[in-house]
Amino acid sequence: MSKLGDLGARLHRGEVGYDFIGNRKIWYGLSILITITAIVALAVRGLNMGIEFQGGAVFTTPKSEVSVSQAQEYAEEASGHDAIVQQLGNGSLRIQVGGLDTAQSDKVRVELAKDLNVPEDKIAAEIVGPSWGEQIATKAWTGLGVFMILVVIYLAIAFEWRMAVAALVALIHDLTITVGIYSLVGFEVTVGTVIGLLTILGYSLYDTVVVFDSLKEQTKDITKQTRFTYSELANRSINGTLVRSINTTVVALLPVAGLLFIGGGFLGAGMLNDISLSLFVGLAAGAYSSIFIATPLVADLKEREPSVKALRKRILAKRASAAAKGESLDAADDLSAEAAVVGPRASRRGAQEHRG
């Protein structure tokens, strides 16, 4: 068995583990700090909206000896607007200029042909209206709202409302961080970005549901035992699925990283680059939130229940009593289990003798 596999087995059996729940205030503080930074970045810097959302023209040129920076300078001089230039895998250039109508686009096309020393009819020009981007954004917000509602309903039915609330908080956390990173580094927001953002919701939810399913099994009839509190069982659930979550996330991130760094960096694949960037950030944030946000939040909510709160008091009292007597907790648990079995038998035997 590999070292990672052996560690996973030991985590699952509870032989080793990290106290995720006990250190939850650290994770909450870190997440709040990151979220505030993302919100401030959005308020101050905003998002670099792509041509699809602000309208303008997209020019695709044949292979040219002109560098990307020089082509950007030519495009901005010809149009009087900011330009974004990408070099595609075949050496051609994709030039985006916002705020152009059809007449202005024709003039810029002529100037670009001269500056780049390429035939004018070899430069493809496409006009994009801002209304199309607005429709895409509206549909994306609608889809996001419907998805969130369905997630809450499903988790409330399959698990319970506390887990539904925790999963919803984790999803909002992941989206906020991803969008905030786009704002901080100035990445362009395109239709591909919107597709990527909607896609990461499923990935983020997957890890969370895996941990929740384990937690649901371990906390079944929890009040009938006096060995573990709800928070401790939640911690065991995280540790038991930790290696699985890591493996799943790494396997998912590898092909996305290939799209991002190879497809986007070397081949210049525009929309693939936009999709893979949001996926890469969202997958990492989703794995983090399922471990450090969602499950600790469920534990906090459950510990407020009267029955779970009473269970915690009984367990702590039992441990204090065992410590005062110098007994180990395992021995105390064994005595409790024996009393639970012998007690009913003794009662039945006494009843039989009384009838005799």
Distance of alpha carbon 282 from the chain centroid: 5
pLDDT tens across the length of the chain (356 residues)? 456 556 556 655 556 678 889 899 999 999 999 999 999 988 998 887 777 777 788 888 888 778 888 888 888 888 888 787 877 766 788 888 877 777 888 888 888 888 888 888 888 888 877 676 677 778 878 888 888 898 889 889 989 899 999 999 999 998 898 888 888 877 778 777 887 888 777 777 888 888 898 888 888 888 888 888 999 999 988 888 888 888 888 888 888 887 777 765 555 555 566 777 788 888 888 888 988 999 999 999 999 999 989 988 998 888 888 888 876 555 444 333 333 333 333 334 444 444 44
Q: Does residue 16 sit in helix, strand or coil?
A: coil
pLDDT at 335: 35
pLDDT for 15: 62
Antiparallel, parallel or unpaired: β 83-87 and 93-98: antiparallel
pLDDT at residue 117 in the model: 83
Supply the pTM of this predicted model: 0.74
DSSP alpha helices (H): ranges in the chain?
Answer: 3-13, 24-44, 51-54, 68-79, 102-116, 130-158, 161-185, 191-218, 230-257, 270-289, 295-302, 306-325, 329-355
DSSP bridge pairs for 177: none
pLDDT value for 297: 94
Separation between Cα atoms, residue 290 and residue 299, nearest integer Å: 13
- Inter-CA distances, 269 with 13, 58, 66, 277, Å: 46, 15, 19, 12
Return d(Cα 276, Cα 280) in angstroms, integer: 6
**pLDDT value for 302:** 92
Q: Closest Cα partner for 21 from 239, 285, 243?
A: 239
